[in-house]
């Protein structure tokens, strides 16, 4: 078991780590529902929090917007932010990971403290879907990811040493390309992963958007909780359905038109 932290120890851990929510202006319709569920289910988040975006003006009280300027692609945008924030460690989230229940903040802090004390490069708080040969437990919750696993760089809720993450990033790659190509780049790194997803301190819908379209579960989750999706311009993803490419194209055109027409009016995430 991880040791229970004193209030002073927990505060020290929190001050060393930033929470970064990866996004871009083309996903601005996720920001209000993300902020809604974040405020509801993680009101005691102790970490300095950033929302990585391009140029749209944003007003927020829980998460500070971090503008990276014109879109350079996921990896380049992320590197730009990492080079400019005064933290050596981050927690990674994405804009369409909608939190479903209260976050176990104490466990997040305890596991981050273990990573800091034991020089971990990364800890993914999501367990593997199936047991992995070569997995080596180091606590009762998590252990070392197998060296030959292709899941060592999953873009799920995770702790990262900033220098390690920057060594994994490649200019021009998307998050999905980093997931599929990045694991071999971590062979010399101390990469950790939860053994069982059921014990993760954060439960969330991942992902609310698939191939540029809302998944029905996200729409229902937002409707049931009164979480606003604004603007509601993106189509709905249906596995095996026809015309997905057309729906994606129309959704992208509609969102970019909305952004253009909106001009410099700020998107207000306060009380979302």
Give the C-alpha distances (Å, rounded to integers) separating 57 from 5, 37, 48, 60, 67. Answer: 38, 21, 19, 10, 9
pTM (whole model) above 0.85 = yes
Q: Tell me if 2 is assigned to some domain.
A: no
- Write the CATH number for 151: 3.90.550.10
Q: Tell me if 215 is assigned to some domain.
A: no
Peptide bond before residue 231 is cis, with ω within 30 degrees of 0: yes
What is the domain count for the chain?
1
Q: Tell me if 250 is assigned to some domain.
A: no
Q: Please list the pLDDT of the chain residue by residue as tens digits (272 residues).
A: 457 899 999 999 999 999 999 999 999 999 999 999 999 999 999 999 999 999 999 999 999 999 999 999 999 999 999 999 999 999 999 999 999 999 999 999 999 999 999 999 999 999 877 767 889 999 999 999 999 888 899 999 999 999 999 999 999 999 999 999 999 999 999 999 999 888 999 999 999 999 999 999 999 999 999 998 988 999 999 877 667 888 899 999 999 999 999 888 999 999 77
Cα–Cα distance, 14 to 170 (Å, whole number): 28
Q: Tell me if 252 is assigned to some domain.
A: no
Cα–Cα distance, 144 to 136 (Å, whole number): 5
Q: Tell me if 157 is assigned to some domain.
A: yes
pLDDT of residue 29: 96
Name the residue range of residue 112's domain. Answer: 7-205
pLDDT of residue 68: 97
pLDDT of residue 131: 67
């Amino acid at each position: 078991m991880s040791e229970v932290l004193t209030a002073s120890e927990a505060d020290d851990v929190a001050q060393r780590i930033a929470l970064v929510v990866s996004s871009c202006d083309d996903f601005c319709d996720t920001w209000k529902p993300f902020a809604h569920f974040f405020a509801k289910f993680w009101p005691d988040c102790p970490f300095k929090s950033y929302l990585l975006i391009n140029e749209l003006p944003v007003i927020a009280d829980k998460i500070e917007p971090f503008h990276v300027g014109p879109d350079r692609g996921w990896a380049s945008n992320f590197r730009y932010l990492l080079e400019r924030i005064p933290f050596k460690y981050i927690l990674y989230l994405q804009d369409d990971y909608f939190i479903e229940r209260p976050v176990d903040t104490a466990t997040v802090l305890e596991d981050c403290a273990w990573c800091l004390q034991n020089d971990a490069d990364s800890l993914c708080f999501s367990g593997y879907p199936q047991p992995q040969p070569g997995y080596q437990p180091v606590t009762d919750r998590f252990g070392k990811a197998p060296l030959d696993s292709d899941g060592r760089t999953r873009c799920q809720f995770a702790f990262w040493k900033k220098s390690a993450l920057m060594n994994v990033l490649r200019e021009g790659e998307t998050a999905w390309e980093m997931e599929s190509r990045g694991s071999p780049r971590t062979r010399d790194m101390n990469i950790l992963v939860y053994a069982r997803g059921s014990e993760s301190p954060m439960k969330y819908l991942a992902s609310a958007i698939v191939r540029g379209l809302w998944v029905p579960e996200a729409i229902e989750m937002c409707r049931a909780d009164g979480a606003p999706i604004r603007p509601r311009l993106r189509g709905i993803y249906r596995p095996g359905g026809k015309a997905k490419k057309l729906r994606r194209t129309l959704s992208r055109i509609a969102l970019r038109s909305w952004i253009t027409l909106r001009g410099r009016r700020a998107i207000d995430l306060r009380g979302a």
